[in-house]
């Protein structure tokens, strides 16, 4: 950690937090490991083991974590480098624990929490989120075997990064945090799916209701009555009167406008005559 103390402001909240997490994650486990690059405290590399009893069982996956200067107030961006069939490589993953959804991120989450959540999310369907893939189980199993030979230019052979027989149990607090992450992820997916919902049918129902009002009753629309019966005639007359009434109102309005125009013309003419008379007298 000495190289970071000389390079960064150790009084910074983000620097202190990252140095503490680096110390906590210094010892690798059989499921995951993570460490900052020697020249950059805000870029980490990680390796995770594929979850057992899944298409990723036996796979070892390597990636990058890009942390903002405001960490832990803002979430990290997670990028996988190993082909896996669940997430695109060299592309920021869209999860509620990543930079794609800062509104769901909580400062109490850590890099370890993000790794545990990522492992838990791998067997889940992509549901069309950014950076997600939906390979077949057979393709994912083949990629899991190939992943064991992946070599990182910075870290070397990734299978040597994980410890053998060393595990760190998930605490109750971490389990509740991961459950919270999963719950928020479901909310995000539901929200995204909700955006594609068709518009409410209230408008169309209103239009249909309007059409029903304007349409005269017939034998089909009024069961038990003939089309020429009194009820049909009365309804038809009522509708016709409703249709004629606006036309009558329109005629009255036009007549009033004509009267007003004539009155204005008369007043203007009278004023003009008075002015002309005075000019003659002068």
Q: Catalytic amino acids? A: 94
In whole angstroms, give the CA distance from residue 193 to residue 178: 23
Distance, first Cα to last Cα, the chain:
108
Peptide bond into 267 cis (omega under 30): no
Q: Which two tokens stand for residue 166?
A: 């060393």
**CB neighbour class for 52 (10 Å; exposed up to 12, middle 13-18, buried from 19):** exposed
CA pair distance 241, 177, nearest whole angstrom: 69
Give ∠ CA 28-30-31 in degrees, rounded to 5: 95
- For residue 34, list its beta bridge partners: 46
CA separation for the pair 164, 52 (Å, rounded) = 15
Cα(19)–Cα(34) distance, rounded to whole angstroms?
Answer: 12
Q: Say how far apart CA 107 and CA 180 lie, in whole Å.
A: 13
C-alpha 137/C-alpha 58 separation (Å) is 13
Token pair of 26 as six digits? 């210094």
């Amino acid at each position: 950690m000495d190289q970071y103390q000389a390079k960064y402001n150790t009084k910074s909240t983000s620097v202190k937090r990252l140095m503490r997490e680096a110390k906590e994650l210094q010892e690798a486990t059989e499921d995951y490991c993570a460490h900052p690059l020697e020249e950059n405290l805000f870029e980490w590399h990680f390796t995770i083991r594929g979850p057992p009893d899944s298409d990723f069982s036996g796979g070892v996956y390597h990636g990058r974590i890009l942390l903002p200067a405001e960490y832990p107030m803002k979430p990290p961006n997670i990028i996988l480098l190993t082909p896996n069939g669940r997430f695109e490589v060299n592309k920021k993953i869209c999860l509620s624990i990543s930079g794609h959804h800062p509104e769901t991120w909580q400062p109490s989450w850590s890099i370890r929490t993000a790794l545990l959540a990522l492992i838990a999310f791998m067997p889940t369907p992509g549901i069309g989120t950014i950076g997600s893939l939906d390979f077949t189980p057979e393709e994912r199993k083949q990629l899991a075997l190939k992943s064991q030979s992946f070599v990182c230019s910075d870290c070397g052979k990734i299978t040597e990064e994980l410890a053998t027989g060393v595990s760190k149990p998930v605490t109750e607090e971490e389990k509740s945090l991961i459950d919270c992450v999963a719950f928020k992820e479901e909310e995000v997916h539901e929200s995204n799916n909700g955006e594609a919902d068709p518009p409410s049918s209230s408008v169309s129902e209103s239009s249909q209701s309007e059409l029903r009002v304007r349409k005269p009753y017939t034998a089909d629309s009024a069961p038990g009555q003939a089309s020429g019966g009194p009820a049909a005639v009365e309804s038809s007359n009522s509708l016709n009167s409703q249709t004629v009434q606006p036309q009558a109102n329109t005629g009255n309005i036009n007549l009033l406008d004509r009267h007003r125009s004539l009155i204005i013309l008369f007043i203007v003419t009278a004023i003009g005559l008075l002015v002309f008379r005075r000019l003659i007298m002068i």
